[in-house]
A and B are shown apart, each in its own frame.
Chain A
């Protein structure tokens, strides 16, 4: 069984990169608006269906469709914030959580009513299925996912650390009151975060579509796992989300190979429960403090 380890590791990292990518979208919203978005998976689903419309039904070139789909998702993010977050922003976490659950039901069923339950096919980025290296087959789409996730993380780091916009976003996520006292338009910053988070979700959807196909349910399980990755990594912690995602991907792939395939998801969720009970602050920790 040991000779399987490299192959399982590659797949685990590929799956983990998907979780990490979706988790990245989650984590920004948590930081900026303290919103746990249960419709994050539907962002991915919508991104993929936009590709089906743009490159499939309208016949636009793939490379033009991708930026269009992502831009549309960015716009959708603002709309989403206006409907689910804005009216409830002063009422605490629970109402927002529930309204994003409502949004998730709404979005997936609108798409279900339009496209039906049969999955759609979206072509891969590359014609080549992948390459074999020392007995390990590397799916080209997984390579793309790993590389693009890494690039996005880098890009995000640069934006946050090296630009004024990034600093303002950070200030907003750390202390809204202080940020607004400093003249930062907090509302705009929160909307930008929603928009960026939706765009990230869209990118994730476009990337996983060639692997998982485009279906109404494609984002749901991934987003649950990404959420779990967030908690394992430390809520609201960006490096934590990335590492949590990768760790979860690897653990469940190995768990499936060496423990049980049908209970693969149970392994993932059990790991999460364990983390929640033993180390709720996650690998990297979340700053939790409440002033009495």
Chain B
């Protein structure tokens, strides 16, 4: 981020949008779901996609209702900052009739809210992919995206089994996302008996990657795995990779497949592979979601909207199954979900609260993202 763009005042709270479904007229009190999404700050645009996904699911859910009642979303702005998320959550948690929450796609925000979630004792569906979130003994966090240990495993699996490469160079951002992802990839490779020849971190917004690319070249690696957080970093890196003559296969974390990265890096990313938690062509459910989303918002669906879409559907399913909005019962019902086909994949919640264990492998075919295969990790 721009050093001079200051985080929005952390105590700011966005508007409380009450999004009752318009076309269903059930007399009963609505079941309210509290959402912490950014509507200001750098992720404001992404926040609107998250809200879109959740609304799409809400419309679907409210065609039938939940326990004979309509469902309603209460949204608070997290301002794209950690303290902002804490404050947004504290506003929501003060409303006692809220049955469950949909949290953040940012791991650090989930981390910041987690103690309060534990205190309030109600389920929160989260999109942050740091593996530690569901392993810190907080029983109320349920993840609607695969965590980074799986992206690491999937990258390792595809590179070693499908591409048959052994000498790995791993390049990663030293931020929370990048360093956790790289750690997971390193562990997955070690499980396959491979020690990477290079683990190279960089700081976000570095304007030049010559030293990194040369280190990759010098390492003699025959495959590159990467965790980039920001697309412009990825774009600069990709161009220098090509310029400095590194021609090895490259499997990257989800950012390598997103539209911004494709437009910034252009040909420099052609032929690369990426893992994606959401791919349109992966399953019938994902195809169906993508069509609905495009019809409703005239925009291509992405992983910002797919997980909130699933989160609302999963909560509706769990509350219906539980027959109650009591937190413990919802929790038990969520843990019991097996084989639910969501936009992100097939949900089977484990005891930690992780619902998904797989990623899609996609390839950049001259600028078009092509689905190759889905890899689910069996444990």
In the complex, A touching B, CB below 8 Å?
yes
Give the CA-CA distance A221 to B206 in the complex, in Å: 9
Say yes or no: is B203 at the interface (Cβ < 8 Å to chain A): yes
Give the CA-CA distance A171 to B263 in the complex, in Å: 49
Say yes or no: is B352 at the interface (Cβ < 8 Å to chain A): no
Q: Nearest chain A CB to B285's CB is how many angstroms away?
A: 28
Residues of chain A within 8 A of B202, CB atoms compared: 261-262, 264
- Known A-B contacts A213-B264, A262-B174; A41 and B4 likewise in contact (beta carbons under 8 Å): yes
Residues of chain B within 8 A of A105, CB atoms compared: 4-6
A232-283 contacts to B, CB under 8 A, are 253, 256-257, 261-262, 264-265
A20-37 contacts to B, CB under 8 A, are none
Residues of chain A within 8 A of B236, CB atoms compared: 211-213
Say yes or no: is B60 at the interface (Cβ < 8 Å to chain A): no
Say yes or no: is B94 at the interface (Cβ < 8 Å to chain A): no
Say yes or no: is A15 at the interface (Cβ < 8 Å to chain B): yes
Give the CA-CA distance A279 to B174 in the complex, in Å: 33
Cβ-defined contact, A119 with B2, below 8 A: no
Cβ-defined contact, B243 with A261, below 8 A: no
Cβ-defined contact, A130 with B210, below 8 A: no
- Known A-B contacts A112-B42, A119-B232; A261 and B211 likewise in contact (beta carbons under 8 Å): yes
Say yes or no: is A7 at the interface (Cβ < 8 Å to chain B): yes
Question: A29-67, CB under 8 A of B: which get 1 and which 0?
Answer: 000000000100110000000000000000000000000
Cβ-defined contact, A119 with B260, below 8 A: yes
Cβ-defined contact, A213 with B2, below 8 A: no
Cβ-defined contact, B245 with A217, below 8 A: no
Cβ-defined contact, A104 with B4, below 8 A: yes
Residues of chain B within 8 A of A174, CB atoms compared: none
Residues of chain A within 8 A of B43, CB atoms compared: 117
Cβ-defined contact, A109 with B212, below 8 A: no
A65-121 contacts to B, CB under 8 A, are 101, 104-105, 108-109, 112, 116-119, 121
Closest to A255 in B: B211
A197-221 contacts to B, CB under 8 A, are 211-213, 215-221
Cβ-defined contact, A42 with B263, below 8 A: no
- Known A-B contacts A108-B2, A213-B235; A1 and B218 likewise in contact (beta carbons under 8 Å): yes
In the complex, which of the residues B2, B212, B263, B266 contacts A217, with contact meaning CB atoms closer than 8 Å?
Answer: B2
In the complex, which of the residues A7, A42, A220, A221 contacts B214, with contact meaning CB atoms closer than 8 Å?
Answer: A7
Say yes or no: is A224 at the interface (Cβ < 8 Å to chain B): yes
In the complex, which of the residues A109, A118, A217 contacts B3, with contact meaning CB atoms closer than 8 Å?
Answer: A217
Give the CA-CA distance A41 to B266 in the complex, in Å: 26
B274-321 contacts to A, CB under 8 A, are none
Question: A117-130, CB under 8 A of B: which get 1 and which 0?
Answer: 11101000000011
Cβ-defined contact, B1 with A121, below 8 A: no
Interface residues on B, range: 35 or more
Residues of chain A within 8 A of B214, CB atoms compared: 4, 7-8, 257
Cβ-defined contact, A224 with B3, below 8 A: yes
Say yes or no: is A172 at the interface (Cβ < 8 Å to chain B): no
Cβ-defined contact, B45 with A221, below 8 A: no
Q: Nearest chain A CB to B247's CB is how many angstroms away?
A: 13
Cβ-defined contact, B207 with A15, below 8 A: yes
Cβ-defined contact, B260 with A261, below 8 A: no
Closest to A217 in B: B2
Residues of chain A within 8 A of B231, CB atoms compared: 118-119
Give the CA-CA distance A11 to B202 in the complex, in Å: 17
Q: Nearest chain B CB to A188's CB is how many angstroms away?
A: 30
What is the interface size of chain A, counting residues whose CB is below 8 A from a CB of the partner?
44
Closest to A106 in B: B4
Residues of chain B within 8 A of A18, CB atoms compared: 207
Give the CA-CA distance A101 to B3 in the complex, in Å: 11
Cβ-defined contact, B211 with A221, below 8 A: no
B188-244 contacts to A, CB under 8 A, are 200-203, 205-208, 210-212, 214-215, 218, 231-232, 235-236, 239, 242-244
Cβ-defined contact, B45 with A118, below 8 A: yes
Cβ-defined contact, B2 with A216, below 8 A: yes
Residues of chain B within 8 A of A109, CB atoms compared: 5
In the complex, which of the residues B215, B242, B244 contacts A257, with contact meaning CB atoms closer than 8 Å?
Answer: B215
Residues of chain A within 8 A of B232, CB atoms compared: 119, 212-213, 215
Closest to A210 in B: B239
Cβ-defined contact, B45 with A217, below 8 A: no
Q: Nearest chain A CB to B341's CB is how many angstroms away?
A: 31
Residues of chain B within 8 A of A220, CB atoms compared: 2-5
Say yes or no: is A137 at the interface (Cβ < 8 Å to chain B): yes
Residues of chain A within 8 A of B242, CB atoms compared: 129
In the complex, which of the residues B174, B210, B212 contacts A7, with contact meaning CB atoms closer than 8 Å?
Answer: B210
Say yes or no: is A286 at the interface (Cβ < 8 Å to chain B): no
Residues of chain B within 8 A of A4, CB atoms compared: 214, 218
- Known A-B contacts A1-B218, A101-B4, A137-B243; A261 and B212 likewise in contact (beta carbons under 8 Å): yes
Cβ-defined contact, B215 with A112, below 8 A: no
Give the CA-CA distance A164 to B218 in the complex, in Å: 55
Cβ-defined contact, A117 with B264, below 8 A: no
Binding site for B on A (CB under 8 A): 1, 4, 7-8, 11, 15, 18, 38, 41-42, 101, 104-105, 108-109, 112, 116-119, 121, 129-130, 137, 139, 211-213, 215-222, 224, 253, 256-257, 261-262, 264-265
Q: A215-B232, A264-B203 are in contact. List 20 more A-B contacts (CB 8 A).
A: A8-B211, A15-B207, A105-B4, A105-B5, A105-B6, A116-B44, A116-B45, A118-B45, A121-B266, A137-B243, A217-B1, A217-B5, A219-B2, A222-B207, A253-B208, A261-B202, A261-B203, A261-B206, A262-B201, A265-B203
29 contacting pairs across A/B (C-beta < 8 A): A4-B214, A11-B208, A18-B207, A101-B4, A104-B4, A105-B6, A108-B5, A117-B42, A117-B44, A118-B45, A118-B231, A121-B263, A129-B243, A212-B236, A215-B2, A216-B2, A217-B2, A217-B3, A217-B4, A219-B2, A220-B3, A220-B5, A221-B3, A256-B211, A257-B210, A261-B200, A262-B203, A264-B203, A264-B211
